[in-house]
């Protein structure tokens, strides 16, 4: 059954787990491949992290997440408002989706799993669009982290 509540992606990264972990949990490194200016920022469980989006066409937006879990070299997760791109809309009353990154050792590198869940709680008027855009976004971000790790 196709679930519209969650998006799942997997990629085998040809890099050691410690390096993949750094690309995720180090906010500055994360921002470099994800497209957010996070210089001088940190990801701390229980705190929010914000930065200017650097992705062309979305530079007027602030990326804002609530960091959930930071379990070294295993799990990193945060909550956010998916596809919150209309500057004049107040998304603060909406539910957030949860983005969960999990790392696993694999032959030849590290398996990165990403699951974004909770779309069923997003207002119906924008749920499908948010799901679609994030779905596409994660495809792109998987390539981005792969390219980033290839350079480092």
Q: What CATH number is attached to the domain comprising 52?
A: 3.30.530.20
Residue-wise pLDDT for 83-117, tens only, equals 999 988 999 999 999 999 999 999 999 999 999 99
Q: Are 113 and 101 in contact (CB under 8 A)?
A: yes
Containing domain of residue 46, as a range?
6-151
What is d(CA 9, CA 92) in angstroms, rounded to the nearest whole number?
Answer: 27
pLDDT value at residue 151: 86
- Is the pLDDT score of 152 beyond 80? no
The domain tally of the chain equals 1
What is the band of 2 on the pLDDT scale with cuts at 50, 70, 90? low
Burial category of 103 from C-beta neighbours within 10 Å (exposed 0-12, middle 13-18, buried 19 and up): buried
Instruction: Assess if residue 93 is contained within a domain.
Output: yes
pTM to 2 decimals? 0.95
Q: Does residue 1 sit within a domain? A: no
- Which tens digit of pLDDT belongs to each residue from 41-92? 999 999 999 999 999 999 999 999 999 999 999 999 999 999 999 988 999 9
Q: What is the mean pLDDT of residues 116-121?
A: 97
Residue 38 domain-assigned (yes or no): yes
| DSSP codes joined into one string, 80-133 | E-TT---TT---TTS--EEEEEEEEEETTEEEEEEEEE-GGGS-HHHHHHHHHH
């Amino acid at each position: 059954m196709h679930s519209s509540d969650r998006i799942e992606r997997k990629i085998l990264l040809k890099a050691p787990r410690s390096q993949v972990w750094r690309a995720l949990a180090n906010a500055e490194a994360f921002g470099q491949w994800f497209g957010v200016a996070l210089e001088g920022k940190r990801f701390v469980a229980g705190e929010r992290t914000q930065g200017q989006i650097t992705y062309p066409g979305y530079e007027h937006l602030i990326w804002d997440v609530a960091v959930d879990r930071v379990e070294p070299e295993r799990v990193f997760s945060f909550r956010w408002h998916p596809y919150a791109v209309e500057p004049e809309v107040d998304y603060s009353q909406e539910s957030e989706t949860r983005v969960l990154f999990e790392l696993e050792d694999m032959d030849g590198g590290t398996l990165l799993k990403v699951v974004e869940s909770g779309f069923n709680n997003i207002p119906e008027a924008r749920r499908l669009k948010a799901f679609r855009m994030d779905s596409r976004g994660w495809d792109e971000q998987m390539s981005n982290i792969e390219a980033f790790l290839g350079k480092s």
